[in-house]
């Protein structure tokens, strides 16, 4: 399996739930803000693995799998991931990096990191309107992992962790960046 297709599927699925699931009119308790922080940590770890230009082992992907399994029913409406189902005979999962990397990948990763950083900053400062701005940032974010969804990334991909076919939602790298117009602008101008 290609690592970018697997990781982007997790990110896209979660981002779809977030972009409409942030309760901007409800009170955000410390527990809720901590939950958002754990989601941001997941997004950050995932981004690190997307950016890594090498194969990924079972040990490296396990924190993401544990996060998904720990959030089934809330962020992920899927069945539990049994990592052993995806391991080879040596009980070692290898997510393969296909080796193609270009300026679009660098921009996608940079914007992902900027959005994560901006959400963290707004969550920390909690200035007026911060909930709506965080929701908008998650909405911007959800288009970025679409560049790596299975069929757009490689038409030969048979399965990924969630077992979903997102080929209908896959985008080219340039389209993913175009659809995330707001995040292409410098985030500091979004006040």
Q: How far is it, in rounded angstroms, from Cα 50 to Cα 145? A: 10
With 50 as the cut, is the pLDDT of residue 155 above it?
Answer: yes
Counted domains in the chain: 1
Model pLDDT, residue 82? 80
Least confident of 17-21, 55-59, 150-154: 150-154
pLDDT-based confidence at residue 125 (cuts at 50, 70, 90): very high
Sign of CA dihedral 144, 38, 95, 166: negative
Give the integer Cα–Cα distance in Å for 148 and 153: 5
**Distances from the Cα of 143 to the Cα of 12, 25, 32, 86, 108, angstroms:** 8, 24, 24, 27, 10
- Looking at every residue in the chain, the average pLDDT score rounds to 79
What's the rounded Cα separation, in Å, for the pair 118 and 40?
A: 11
Query: Is the model's pLDDT at 46 over the cut of 70?
Result: yes
Expressed as residue numbers, the domain containing 109 is 3-189
- Helix/strand/coil for 175: helix
Phi first, then psi: what are they for 53, rounded to 5°? -100, 55
Q: Is the four-CA dihedral 152, 153, 155, 157 of positive or negative sign?
A: negative
Q: What is the pTM of this model?
A: 0.82
Cβ proximity of 56 and 1 under 8 Å: no
CA distances from 153 to 16, 35, 113, 123, 165 (A): 19, 31, 21, 33, 12
Report the percentage of the chain scoring pLDDT > 70.
77
């Amino acid at each position: 399996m290609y690592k970018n297709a697997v990781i982007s599927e997790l990110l896209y699925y979660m981002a779809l739930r977030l972009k409409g699931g942030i309760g901007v009119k409800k009170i955000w308790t410390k527990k809720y803000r901590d939950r958002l922080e754990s989601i941001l940590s997941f997004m950050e770890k995932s981004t690190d693995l997307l950016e890594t230009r090498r194969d990924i082992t079972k040990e490296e992907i396990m924190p993401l799998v544990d996060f998904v399994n720990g959030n089934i029913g809330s962020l992920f409406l899927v069945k539990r991931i049994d990592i052993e189902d995806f391991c080879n005979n040596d009980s070692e999962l290898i997510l393969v990096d296909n080796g193609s990397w270009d300026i679009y990948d660098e921009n996608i990763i940079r914007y992902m990191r900027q959005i994560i950083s901006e959400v963290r900053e707004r969550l920390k400062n909690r200035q007026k309107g911060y909930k709506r701005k965080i929701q908008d940032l998650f909405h911007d974010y959800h288009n970025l992992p679409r560049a790596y969804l299975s069929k757009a990334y490689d038409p030969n991909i048979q399965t990924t962790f969630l077992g979903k076919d997102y080929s209908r939602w896959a985008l080219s790298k340039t389209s993913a960046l175009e659809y995330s117009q707001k995040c292409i602008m410098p985030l500091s101008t979004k006040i």
